[in-house]
Amino acid sequence: MKKLKLEELGRISVNQFKESTKIPVCILLDNVRSLHNVGSAFRTADAFRIEKIFLTGITGTPPHREIHKTALGATESVAWQYEEHPAVAVENLKRDGYSIVVVEQTTESIPLHAFATKPTQKYCLVFGNEVNGVSDEVIALADQALEIPQHGTKHSLNISVCIGIVCWQLFRDTMFK
């Protein structure tokens, strides 16, 4: 076994990525305060060919040195849009046919492994603020809530880890069915 060199990884260019088929999933960051988490969302979105990222409220936007440090150029490949009010972005996405899925512990959330994607459905995954989670206003507009089962003492994950786990699950469900 040997570690692959960069030129052996088969990476595509930014233009090839922009022209490639994406999975029918977008991400909405609801008032995410950490610029490193924003950068990580971009990098994860690039890895799993997510359609677009919606940055809302206090969420930082590119170009920014701290976002770039974590995104490693993914802000150039992944489409993104800023909307001041998270609920406005959600309402627009609903009108465009997206099912709004908040990733949050709620009275009606289901475990991620029990979530069954539908082949013709578009999804918007909403991730919330590091302290307060997804806003109540957005939860009220959601079609469904997912949570990642956890069995430790904390019952919370860093948003960047959470985005990675949930996006991988939807990528796997979409690409390998």
> Residue 134: what pLDDT?
98
Q: What is the CATH number of the domain that holds 161?
A: 3.40.1280.10
Q: Tell me the C-alpha to C-alpha distance, in Å, between residue 118 and each of 92, 94, 99, 122, 144.
A: 21, 16, 10, 8, 13
> Residue 175: what pLDDT?
79
Tell me the C-alpha distance between 41 and 157, whole Å: 14
Q: Is 123 contained in some domain? A: yes
> Residue 119: what pLDDT?
87
**Structural domain of 148:** 15-175
Q: Is 46 contained in some domain? A: yes
Q: Is 82 contained in some domain? A: yes
Side chain identity, residue 72: L
> Residue 85: what pLDDT?
98
Q: Is 99 contained in some domain? A: yes
Side chain identity, residue 154: K
Q: Is 53 contained in some domain? A: yes
> Residue 177: what pLDDT?
66
Q: Is 5 contained in some domain? A: no
Residues of the chain with pLDDT under 70: 177
Q: Is 164 contained in some domain? A: yes
Could you give the number of structural domains in the chain? 1
> Residue 168: what pLDDT?
97
Q: Is 89 contained in some domain? A: yes
pTM over 0.85: yes
- SS3 assignment, position 91: helix
Say which residue the tokens 């206090």 belong to.
58
